[in-house]
C-alpha cells in the first residue's frame, strides 16, 4: 500500500505519514535544534532542522510494500520577510537532503493547491486557513495530538496525496 508523507516545511512545521487508505501512521513536529545564530551583528538563537533526527525518522518509516511519496509544501519566499524566507529555504534544503539520503521520492505542492481541494470554500487569511486545517485534521483523526497551531497542515498535505492518489 502506498505511503504518503506530508511535510509542512519550516522549523515550526510538522510531518505526517498516512497509508494510502488514509490510516494515520505517525504525526510529529519537525525535529529542530536551537543554537547560536550565524550573524555577526548580534548574538541571537536560531532554530535549525535537526538533520540526524529527521533522517532517522525517514529511515524508520515502516514501508509495507510501495515506495513512499513525500509531499513537501513549497516554502514561502518573500523579499519583505527576508529572515523568515532564509529560514524557510534553509529548512527546505535540510529536508530535501534527508529525503534524498533516505531514498524517498518527493514532490512539491503549493499551499493553495491542497487548501483549495480540502478546506471549506471561502476560507481566507492565514489564521482562518490554519484553524480550518487543524479542525479538519482533528475531525478526520480524533486521536491525533496537534502540538502547535497549524500542525494540521502536514496532515492535510498527506491527505491530499491520499485523496488525489498521487
67: confidence class by pLDDT, cuts 50, 70, 90:
confident
Alpha-carbon distance of 148 to 110, in angstroms, equals: 21
Would you say residue 62 has pLDDT above 70? no
Q: What is the total count of domains within the chain? A: 1
Question: How confident is residue 64, by pLDDT bands cut at 50, 70 and 90?
Answer: low
Q: How far apart are CA 165 and CA 70, in angstroms?
A: 13
Residue range(s) defining the domain that contains residue 12: 3-164
Residue range 113-161, pLDDT digits in tens: 999 999 998 888 888 999 999 999 999 999 899 988 889 999 999 999 9
Check pLDDT > 90 for residue 46. Answer: no
Q: What is d(CA 161, CA 120) in angstroms, rounded to the nearest whole number?
A: 18
Mean pLDDT of 29-34: 94
121-141: burial string, b at 16+ Cβ within 10 Å, e else: eeeeeeeebbbbbbebbeebb
Query: Residue 117: which CATH number?
Result: 3.30.420.10
Average pLDDT, the chain: 90
Backbone angles phi, psi at 72, to 5 degrees: -105, 125
First to last CA, the chain: 12
Amino acid at each position: 500500500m502506498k505511503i504518503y508523507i506530508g511535510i509542512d516545511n519550516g522549523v515550526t512545521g510538522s510531518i505526517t505519514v498516512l497509508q494510502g487508505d488514509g490510516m494515520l501512521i505517525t504525526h510529529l513536529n519537525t525535529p529542530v535544534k536551537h543554537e547560536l545564530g550565524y550573524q555577526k551583528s548580534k548574538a541571537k538563537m536560531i532554530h535549525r532542522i535537526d538533520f540526524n533526527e529527521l533522517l532517522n525518522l525517514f529511515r524508520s518509516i515502516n514501508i509495507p510494500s510501495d515506495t513512499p511519496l513525500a509531499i513537501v509544501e513549497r516554502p514561502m519566499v518573500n523579499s519583505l520577510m527576508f529572515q523568515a524566507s532564509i529560514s524557510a529555504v534553509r529548512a527546505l534544503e535540510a529536508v530535501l537532503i534527508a529525503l534524498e539520503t533516505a531514498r524517498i521520492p518527493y514532490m512539491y505542492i503549493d499551499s493553495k493547491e491542497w487548501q483549495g481541494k480540502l478546506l471549506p470554500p471561502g476560507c481566507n487569511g492565514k489564521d482562518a486557513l490554519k484553524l480550518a486545517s487543524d479542525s479538519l485534521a482533528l475531525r478526520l483523526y480524533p486521536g491525533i495530538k496537534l502540538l502547535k497551531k497549524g500542525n494540521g497542515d502536514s496532515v492535510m498535505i498527506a491527505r491530499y496525496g491520499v485523496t488525489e492518489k498521487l
